Structure formats: structure tokens, C-alpha cells
A and B are shown apart, each in its own frame.
Chain A
């Protein structure tokens, strides 16, 4: 190229692209292990059992996603953000973590919750906000469980990015070998939180992996209008964070690069950003109407790139799975999840006093007074036969 490059600090040091310490081009390319036809085009290091495990997680996420849509339609679930078509991102990324590692996901990553160790029953209880809801009726469409280091997502998108960095810095300060991962959408990269997180991660070499789930839409905004950067991954480069762009509909590509990032972080070599390019097949949420802004033909196009179908073709070609086994996997999980739905559907609601709990470690005097007011209001409602709740 012939151009000269200079460092930021005085006296300016001249350097070449090789001195940056990582390969810039990986932020511009698209890493793949499996192509659209299910042919292997890259290397991977995963045994057959684990490949099938990945496949089953993706199937489970797809079936559960469909149930959450149906439950929302009948009013049992307040809101759902469909995961359909993006299963490879959550499953591939979360499988790269070890048991003790932490995950700060967004609201659209059913596969990641399952991999991390939240069961279908726990997810459904949460979505319905029934008596067994782990989050005690506080919020819709977010999931998490402390015992498996899965931190519930904030609804303001991307707020969790700096949390992941802070947790990673804490692990480092405490001498733990924990790695922390954050998953968030393409839209979230526009927020200040993302930029603060990347900057801190780079400066402090935090053992953190950022996964930008680029499903090409943020509600009605296509990702080419979200940013003028050629890829989302190059944003990491600007912060000195090695960044890699992968095909997000290729679960083995996501897994392989995420695993490399997790291992790097665990070796103390600092953060990585992984952009996983996928596609949001459904509406943004059950409250959205995508026909207003998106050509339905585009969805048809991406249906052909369905990550589950692609992985299945690969498994068939390799002889790791046959049609009969595949049918049994779908049947088994369809019926298991249907049974779980039935079980969760009829559980009683949360008691009324949850609305005043968990504000402080112990209720303050105003909350104690207000609890009395709440109780009295329930009596009045009964006495006067009012319809309120």
C-alpha cells in the first residue's frame, strides 16, 4: 500500500498493519465452516455427540419459539421476540462457554438460554409470569438464572454490554479464570453503552467476548442504515479489540470462532468481538407488523438459508444423522415441550405482593406503608365488587 501509519501517542511511532497485533481482515470477511448446501468448507474440532447436541438445542429452540408465539396469541404471554432463523447464533456462541462462564444475553436468544442451563419449563414459567417465574413478574421477554450464570437481559437494548466488561474485569481482579460473554443485536451497537464497553474492554484487556447478533434488522431499520461501517465487526477494530465476522446461520462457524475467543480470553489475551450475520425471519416482536417496511420476498429468500436445515444437510452428508433419527428428534422434543407447556399453562399466578418486593434488600418504611394500602385496596375491591386486576 505504501502508506505510513502512526501511533496515537507522542512521539508518534511508525508502524505497519502487521504491528496491530491481530488480523484486520477477519473483521471484513465472513468465516464459514458449512456452506448453504451443507458442504464442509472450513475446519472444526467438535466430536459427533456434541454436533448432535448442537442440533438438538437448535430444534428445541425452534419448537419453544413457536409455542411462545402461540401462547402470546392467546394472551397467556405478554410479548415474545421470535428467535426463528437465528438459532445458530445463540446455540453456537453459548456452547463455546464452559460451565462456570457468564453470559449476558439479549431478549432474543432462546437457544443460548437452553444451552446455558435454563429448562423449557423455567423459560415458559418466566414467559407466562406464573407462580414459578424466576424473575417474579418483573418484566416481559427476558430470561435468566443465577445458578448457571445467565444474567437476565435489560430491556433497554445493549445496556448489558458494559456489565459484561465489568464482570470480566472483576473476574480478572479476583484471579478467576471465568470468561464473560455478551450477546446483543446490530441495533444495540449504536448506543453509547456499546462504545463504552468496547473501549473499556480494549483498554483493560478484559476476558470478555462480545457477540453482535446481526439479524439485519432493528425493528424497521435495516442494518445498512444502522451504520455506515462496512461491517459491524470493524467497530471492534477501532477499539483495539480483535474482531471476526462469521456466518451466523452456520452454527459451526459461530461455535468455532466463539470458542477461539473464549480460549483467548481465558489465556489472558483479552477481548474479542464476533459479528454473527443471520436473519430475523419473524416480526420484531409479537407487537410488530413487518409488512409495513419489509418485502415478504426477502423472508422467502432467507427461508432457504434456514440454519437448522443447513446444519441438518451437513449432518446427513457426514453420515452423523439420518432422516429417521431426525424425525425422532423432532417428535420427541415436540411432545416433551407440549407436555411442559400444558404443565406451565395451568400454574397459578404470582401473588399480588410481588409488586412491592425486591426494591431494596429490606423494605423501607414507605414500602411497608404502601403494602398496607395495597391490602386495604384489595378489601375495598372485594367489598364494592370492583373489577380492577
Chain B
């Protein structure tokens, strides 16, 4: 056995793009500063040197242009990867993403489809303020026709991006920027994929199921350690990875064991994905539950510049929620 290289998430994403671009000459990358600059987080670093400016395209500054043009490229037969410099800037492109990319298969009777990949850094924790910290996954999950993914580890980031690049449906690929360089792990250099729609059990446990994704996986793991030490409670942490279509079976299987459900996400609570997961479980598996479902989420306010760690779910708030569930 040879040692696998240690990679952070940026390197893992970069290697996924590189390998897939070698495999599939129809993949092109476009976005603001993705070429010479290599992206502001360097996810596309060096790609322009290997694949040239025709396939790694520095675009003018307009998200609606980037996504709209990507849709057109996909209709013609390319596989475009549109980088949104910070996912907070996607809103100008929502008409193209929600009205066009998501609906074009249906609207054209299945004649055309636009399986673009829209990827970009999301979520908080880096003092990014209101427009460099958001978690807008609900808009995408709510829109029929889109797949939404958010990895939490370098291994999954590479494997899931590869799946996205082979998907026949449009994918929104959200990368928690706080994890770009803070987690390193062994990542294979040869080909592998992580399937879309499959969750990962980040930690096994028997008392409570915590369903979460992105950087919140690590907060949940921290809190799990804390309650184990203080109370002996055994928390199972499920990293959803694919936010839609989410892995309902993994959630139900875990609940069969634990009978208690908590959902943790950074996005604001109201109509966050936690609401859909809670509703799904309430409709289909309420008899498994021993306590009311608990959500620990970002508050229903725009993301702040100051005190962001108090705005986002933190160990204390997850601890509070777990206590309520266990003491119910």
C-alpha cells in the first residue's frame, strides 16, 4: 500500500476539475478571475496553463451572464462549470438558474437539458460579513430540477464534484469556504466518485440523530464529544452531503436506532432545509420519534459581520438542543 497524498478541500476540488477536464474535452470552466488569478480561493489554480483560455474563461463581471451563457453552452453540448466567486452573488443569476437551467428539460418536452455545474464558496466563519457568508441552499432545493450538493471533507469534495461533472442534471455545488484549508485528509489521485444522493455517517451513535452538512458537521461532532463526556449520551452525526435529493433512507435508518432527530444548518431557520427534513420525518416516521424534532440553525436575520460565531449554530446551541431532546 502506498500512502495517499494529503489534500485540503481546495486541492481536492482542483484535482477533480483537472482530472475530469482531461477525461472530458467538453468541460469548460467560466467565471470571474478563474483564469490567471486561479479563482480568489485558487480552486481553479493552474487550469488555464494546462487547458488554455478557451476552456478556462475569465468572464466579465456579471453572474447572470456567467450562468446564462453556461446554459447556452450546455444546450449546444458543452459541460460548463460556472464559478460564482461567492455564492452570495448568485442572486443576479437566479432567473437563469431557476427559470432556465432548472426548467429547460421540462419546458422543451425533454428535447433539451442544461446540465451545468454552478459552484462556489458558501457559508460563514471567516468574518466575511453579509455578502461573503451566506448559505442559500434552500432556494435551490426548493426549485424542482436542480441537484444541490455541499461536501464537508476533501475526499467527498473531490468525489462529489466528479459526480456532478458527470451528472445529466444541473448541479449547484456549494463549498464551505471555512473548510477550504482547515481540513486535510488522504485523497486518492486515481478516479473515484462519491455518489449523489448518499449521506455519510460521520459518527455512529444510538441516542440522537443529528442531520447536518457543511461546516456544521464539525460543530455537531464537537457537541457530540461534549455530551458524551458530560452526560454519556451517544450522538449519531449524519453528514447529508447531497442536500437534494437528500438521503431519506439514511435518516430513517438512523432514527430507527435513536428515535430522536435534530437538524443543524447555518442557513436561517424559516423554510431552511431543516423544515423539509422535519416535515418528511413527521409525515413518514412520526411513530419512530420519542421526542419533538429539534432544529438548531442560523438565526432569521441577515448574516452579520460581528459576533458571527454566535449567529451560526455553535457547540453551545447544539448542546442546548441535545439536552432538550434527551430530557424530554
Contacts and interface: CB of A to CB of B under 8 A. Distances in A.
Interface of A: 78-79, 129, 137-141, 154-157, 187-188, 190-193, 218-221, 225-227, 287-288, 292-293, 349-350, 352, 354-356, 359, 364, 366-367, 370, 373-374, 376-378, 380-381, 384, 386, 388-389
B99 interface: no
B327 interface: no
Given A154-B131, A191-B92, 19 more contacts: A78-B128, A137-B305, A139-B130, A140-B128, A191-B62, A192-B92, A193-B92, A218-B32, A349-B306, A352-B310, A366-B270, A376-B320, A378-B310, A381-B314, A384-B319, A386-B314, A386-B315, A388-B314, A388-B316
Contacts of B35: 220
A389 B60 contact: no
Interface stretch (B168-176, B189-197, B295-303): B295-303
Given A78-B129, A138-B130, A370 B317 contact: no
Contact of A384 (B32, B129, B270, B316): B316
Interface string B76-114: 000000000000110110000000000000000000000
Contacts of A188: 61
B308 to A, nearest CB: 8
A352 B300 contact: no
Given A350-B306, A374-B310, A388-B316, A155 B61 contact: no
A294 B129 CA distance: 28
A76 to B, nearest CB: 11
A141 B129 CA distance: 9
A191 B61 contact: yes
Contact of A190 (B33, B62, B128): B62
Nearest to B58: A221
B307 to A, nearest CB: 5
Given A139-B129, A380-B316, A388-B314, A366 B300 contact: yes
Interface of B: 32-33, 35-38, 40, 58, 60-65, 88-89, 91-92, 127-132, 226, 269-270, 299-302, 304-311, 314-317, 319-320
Contacts, number: 148
Nearest to B130: A139
A139 B305 contact: yes
Nearest to B45: A292
A138 B320 contact: no
B124 to A, nearest CB: 12
B120 to A, nearest CB: 14
B299 A374 contact: yes
A140 B308 CA distance: 13
A276 B40 CA distance: 27
Contacts of B36: 220, 292-293
Interface centre among B35, B65, B304, by most A CB within 10 Å? B304
Contacts of B38: 292
A140 B320 CA distance: 31
B299 A367 contact: yes
Nearest to A194: B62
Contacts of B60: 187, 190, 221, 225-227
Contact of A388 (B40, B306, B310): B310
Contacts of A227: 60
Given A374-B310, A388-B310, A157 B61 contact: yes
Contacts of B40: 219, 287-288
Contacts of A140: 127-129, 305
B61 A156 contact: no
B74 to A, nearest CB: 21
Contacts of B58: 220-221, 225
B309 A388 contact: yes
Given A221-B60, A380-B316, A138 B129 contact: yes
Nearest to B299: A370
10 closest A-B pairs (Cβ-Cβ)? A137-B306, A220-B37, A155-B131, A190-B60, A187-B61, A140-B129, A380-B316, A355-B304, A293-B36, A190-B62
B301 A220 contact: no
A380 B304 contact: no
A367 B320 contact: no
A366 B310 CA distance: 17
Contacts of A359: 300-302
Nearest to A195: B62
B61 A192 contact: no
A78 B133 CA distance: 13
A2 B38 CA distance: 49
A356 B307 CA distance: 11
A206 to B, nearest CB: 22
B14 to A, nearest CB: 15
Contact of B306 (A288, A354, A378): A354
A48 B93 CA distance: 49
Interface centre among A192, A218, A374, by most B CB within 10 Å? A192
Nearest to A371: B299
A148 B305 CA distance: 24
Contacts of A218: 32, 61
A141 B305 CA distance: 10
B226 A384 contact: yes
Contacts of B63: 191
Given A155-B131, A388-B314, A138 B309 contact: no
A384 B304 CA distance: 25
B317 A373 contact: yes
A334 to B, nearest CB: 28
A68 to B, nearest CB: 15
